[in-house]
Amino acid sequence: MKKSIYKIIIPGTLALLSVSYSCKNYLDKAPTGVLNSAVLANKAGVEGLLIGAYSLLDGVYQGQPVDAWETSVDNWSFGGIASDDAYKGSNPTDQPYAAEIMTHTTSSVNEYVLNKWKNLYNGIQRANDVLRELPMVTDGSIDATYKAQLIGEARFLRGVYELEASKIWRNIPYVDETITYDAGNFNVGNPGPIWDKIEADFAAAVASLPTKQAQIGRVNKYAAEAYLAKAYMFDHKYDLARTALTDVITNGITSGGAKYALEPFANNFNPSTKNGPEAVFSVQMTVLDNANGYNGNSGDVLNYPSGGPAACCGFYQPSFSLVNSYKVDAVRGLPLLDTYNNSDLKNDQGVLATDVTWLPDSTTPLDPRLDWTVGRRGIPYLDWGIHPGASWARDQADGGPFSPIKNVYYKAQQGTTSDTYNGWAANQANSNNYNLIRFADVLLWAAECEIESTAGSVAQAVTYVNLVRARAADPTGWVKGRVTGYTGGDATKPIVDNTLPAANYKVGLYSAADFTSKDQSRKIIWFERKLELAMEGHRFFDLQRYDGLYGGPGGAGYMKNILTNYVAHDANITGFANPTLKGVTFTQGKNELYPIPQTQIDVERGALKQNPSY
């Protein structure tokens, strides 16, 4: 849906509506020019409110008083650098609130935490405004069928924002359309999780939404059903999730009518191939629309190689542990589930960009998804040429040698898919959609359900995992271009054999015999999610979901064990100082969640309680 206009208008509209409601005892009539409820009580008005609710999915509205990267939809901070996916990057003192998130020292006054809360509850209230306004439409412009669809879309959007908040804080207040200033019921408590309310919103959306939509960015029945399954996964209702996911896999289509399917891996992160058959539900990003770059994935504005594409700012750098995870055994091409960190894949940490003796590893067998997920020296970086190494790192000693890549546009498309953000960040906004759910995500959830469900099948779990791995094994989707040397002793002139894959790629499929027990099956599926969805902001929340402390099958302390082992490895790599990572401690029973902002606790006058141990 188009966003640029309503991103400016809607926040003011809602503020004016709030003023008109609270002042109605004092005014005989609405002042001229105010968009009050009566003015919006028609099809155009309700659709405008709905667009406003959609528009906050990217975590940003034009003119917001905080920086877009604090509220990014892809959760690069809350879900990425807080996990074993990535480091904060840049230098140790840049973005100290992000450093707190990475080091698990976040407090209730952390700016990122407060602004994410505000953004999500703003989204919830925008969805509620649609639901409040619909009963007031009496002019016949909205028939019963379309009204049901609009209700479904609003409840879906409310569910999305609620689920995002639940992932971050778990214990959140449930705010529906009945909560208003006039009703005096706006101090809402948070006695515990609200999964049942979230599930009800998504179930209502599934029941009332069409299978196709005229606008590709609008949710359809199957995207809502996938989100219902996601809520069930976090609520550990595997039987219900399995039923929903089976329907999505068997019958699901995009809002544009394409059958859900896996497509070339890189297509999911290319602005020119977005909204493909793998995109179950995506946040629509646009550029060059007179919105000052705010609609262009602006939450990732800092997350480019420093000195490479866009030239700034060197945040969200993939970890050594993540890169090591893509090593596979030489015989079958399967992941090294327990031993991937026993040694580090050859890298250029501490190597000068001018060093012409350094060549990338061409013998270690690797999963090819590595080089669509991580930028590393000596490997083609999309179509920007060979990644040059240290010259693209803001501070290699603190952030390491690797670069993010999934959020970056192609050089050949720069003129049409990038924009200047907020007047200063040239080419750092882009039209690369963010996939909230893609079909690979669905398949791997389904594989989990086949292991956890009472009616599950190990054979079916193997099939789902192998569908994802078979896509990775297809050589037509591998990065091509192997560096074999340098011309004239000049490191800026690599010799590239474009007939060869960039590295020694190898991917094999699992057999049922590999799924020897429930625990081993989980390990395989969870590791596959790590490989497939790395650097997409899911990892922290997956670890949280697996942990037995919140009902997951991994046992209490699972998340702490994974992240403690990660820090023990990455903080002790030779030549990698990273003072931000040194001494990081993850506290079980606390750091699985984030603190509720203190200012929100204060304004709720005792109704809102802080999360444990904060």
How far out from the chain centre does Cα 472 lie?
Answer: 21
- Using one digit for the tens of pLDDT, what is the confidence trace for 227-248? 999 999 999 999 999 999 999 9
What pLDDT is recorded for position 1? Answer: 42
Phi-psi region of 141 (alpha: psi -120 to 50; beta: other; left: phi over 0): alpha
- Using one digit for the tens of pLDDT, what is the confidence trace for 56-111? 999 998 778 889 999 999 999 999 999 999 999 999 999 999 999 999 999 999 99
Residues 31-49, mean pLDDT to the nearest whole number? 82
Q: Kindly state whether residues 125 and 190 are assigned to the same domain.
A: yes
Number of independent structural domains in the chain: 2
Kindly report which listed range (16-25, 115-124, 242-251) carries the lowest average pLDDT score. 16-25
Residue 566: inside a domain: yes
Q: Kindly state whether residues 240 and 311 are assigned to the same domain.
A: no
Q: Kindly state whether residues 377 and 321 are assigned to the same domain.
A: yes
Structure tokens at 491: 């490191």
CA angle 36, 37, 39 (to 5 degrees): 70
- Confidence band (pLDDT; 50, 70, 90) for 18? very low
- Is the pLDDT assigned to residue 435 strictly greater than 50? yes
Q: Kindly state whether residues 180 and 316 are assigned to the same domain.
A: no
Residue 429: inside a domain: no
Residues 243-263, mean pLDDT to the nearest whole number? 98
Q: Kindly state whether residues 234 and 331 are assigned to the same domain.
A: no
Residue 395: inside a domain: yes
Structure tokens at 68: 């877009």
Report the chain's mean pLDDT, rounded to a whole number. 93
What's this model's pTM, rounded to 2 decimal places? Answer: 0.94
Look up the domain containing 241 and give its range. 6-65+107-259+597-603
- Is the pLDDT assigned to residue 606 strictly greater than 60? yes
What pLDDT is recorded for position 35? Answer: 65
- Confidence band (pLDDT; 50, 70, 90) for 36? confident
Residues 304-318, mean pLDDT to the nearest whole number? 93
Residue 343: inside a domain: yes
Residue 426: inside a domain: no
Question: What letter would DSSP give residue 327?
Answer: B
What pLDDT is recorded for position 20? Answer: 30
- Confidence band (pLDDT; 50, 70, 90) for 13? very low
Q: Kindly state whether residues 156 and 237 are assigned to the same domain.
A: yes
Percent of the chain with pLDDT over 90: 90
Residue 375: inside a domain: yes
Comparing C-alpha atoms, which of 477, 476, 449, 478 is closest to residue 464? 449
Q: Are 573 and 341 in contact (CB under 8 A)?
A: no
Residues 476-501, mean pLDDT to the nearest whole number? 97
Q: Kindly state whether residues 143 and 53 are assigned to the same domain.
A: yes
Phi-psi region of 360 (alpha: psi -120 to 50; beta: other; left: phi over 0): beta
Q: Is residue 15 packed enough to be buried (19+ CB in 10 Å), middle (13-18) or exposed (0-12)?
A: exposed
Q: Kindly state whether residues 442 and 558 are assigned to the same domain.
A: yes
- Using one digit for the tens of pLDDT, what is the confidence trace for 134-152? 999 999 999 999 999 999 9
Residue 135: inside a domain: yes
- Confidence band (pLDDT; 50, 70, 90) for 566? very high
Question: What letter would DSSP give residue 428?
Answer: E
Q: Kindly state whether residues 541 and 392 are assigned to the same domain.
A: yes
Strands (E), 68-143: 86-89
Q: How would DSSP label each residue in 461-522?
A: HHHHHHHHHHHHH-GGGS-EEEEEEEGGG-TTSEEEEEEEESS-B------GGG--SHHHHH
- Is the pLDDT assigned to residue 26 strictly greater than 50? no
Q: Kindly state whether residues 326 and 224 are assigned to the same domain.
A: no
Residues 264-285, mean pLDDT to the nearest whole number? 98
Q: How far apart are CA 520 and CA 510, in angstroms?
A: 12
Q: How far apart are CA 314 and CA 200, in angstroms?
A: 41
- Look-up of token digits 């590393």: 376
CATH at residue 147: 1.25.40.390
Residue 299: inside a domain: no
Q: Kindly state whether residues 320 and 250 are assigned to the same domain.
A: no
Is the omega angle on the peptide bond into residue 313 within 30 degrees of 0, that is, cis? Answer: yes
Question: How many other C-beta atoms can be found within 10 angstroms of the C-beta atom of residue 68?
Answer: 28
Q: Kindly state whether residues 218 and 113 are assigned to the same domain.
A: yes
Residues 479-483, mean pLDDT to the nearest whole number? 98
Q: How far apart are CA 145 and CA 401, in angstroms?
A: 55
